[in-house]
Amino acid sequence: MTFRSGFVSLVGRPNVGKSTLVNRVVGSKVAIVSDRPQTTRTQIRGVRTTATSQLVLLDTPGIHKPRTLLGERTNDRARATLAEVDVICLLVEATSAIGPGDRFVAGLVQQAATPKILVVSKIDLADTKAIGEHLAMATDELGEFDAYVPLSGLTGEGVDALVGELEARMPEGPEYYPDGVVTDQPETFLVAELVREKLLRVAREELPHSITVVAEELEARPGTREEDDEVLRYEVRVLVERDSQKGMVIGKGGGVIKEAGTLAREELEALFGAKVFLETSVKVERDWQRRAHALDRLGY
């Protein structure tokens, strides 16, 4: 039996549904999701393995006009994947007109000598006529593609068709990741990202976009009870750029950080199959988005 495997880059402007689609294809949550633009800041790999194929999907940051050094680095990271993969998927929204951002990203995609698929996402929010018109307009404005797939990462409609198109274009190859592995990100990364996702959800517009979250695993303290050994413990630090932002993250009476921590812990316990303890704090890391040393240290 021929086994096919390879790498797929999902690119597009911010908030077009890349992370939702990766999670749907993989069948597990490997990337956080928010309706806030530029939520994804690093390249996240999601892995889908079957008896005949393995797809490694690269969820990239949305390509946008950068205002900080962090924005420049996330754009560079997304662009770099175009030359490193076997297939490129360009995502555009069914609910939005093709705009300058879409055309800019499409121009980058068309420069790559790589099979290309145009994905029209979020079709659950658009009617059939609008989707057809969108496909026709995208074809005229964004260039030639090897396949065109309308889908919804949220409901799953059309996702099997995309998987079929991807598998058909994969070369013969090995299993890059063992069966059962759905991402190459460490647990501490997922802990930090889920806390950030929940903060974005709980605080909504009040929360500054310039937060980041880091997590480290804590060892069990001496003298703890035997049953406490089964608890996964993490120190979670939420970093803001200015003193005035700390109150937004903490919330009145600590309500925002407490609710976000609880939501993250519940989801982590379901994912890890074990009890989770989060020791959270909020710190000021001044202008971290604009300082190369800070970005290096934070993994950006």
Is there a contact between 171 and 254 (Cβ–Cβ < 8 Å)? no
Distance CA 120, CA 17 (A): 10
Determine the topology of domain 4-168 in CATH: Rossmann fold (3.40.50)
Length of the chain as a residue count: 300
pTM metric for this prediction: 0.80
pLDDT digits (tens, 9 = 90+) for 237-278: 999 888 888 888 888 899 999 999 999 999 999 888 899 999
Q: Which tokens go with 76?
A: 């560079």
Q: Identify the bridge partners of residue 11 per DSSP, sorted by sequence position.
A: 90
Candidates 103, 90, 108, 109; CA nearest to 12 is: 90
Mean of the pLDDT values across residues 162-191?
92
pLDDT at site 35: 64
Distance CA 115, CA 176 (A): 20
Lowest average pLDDT, out of 12-26, 73-87, 178-192, 218-232, goes to 218-232
Q: Which tokens go with 298?
A: 């934070």
pLDDT at site 209: 66
Is there a contact between 61 and 87 (Cβ–Cβ < 8 Å)? no
What are the residues whose beta carbons fall under 8 Å from the beta carbon of 142, sequence distance 6 or more?
90, 92, 98, 102, 103, 106, 110, 118
pLDDT at site 51: 94
Distance CA 249, CA 105 (A): 33
More confident residue, 149 or 293: 149
pLDDT digits (tens, 9 = 90+) for 68-93: 777 677 777 777 778 789 999 999 99
Cα-based angle 281, 283, 286 (whole degrees, multiple of 5): 165
Determine the topology of domain 187-298 in CATH: GMP Synthetase; Chain A, domain 3 (3.30.300)
Q: Could you tell me the residue ranges of all domains in the chain?
A: 4-168, 187-298
- What residue has token string 């990741």? 177
Task: Say which amino acid occupies 237.
Answer: R
pLDDT at 207 over 70: no
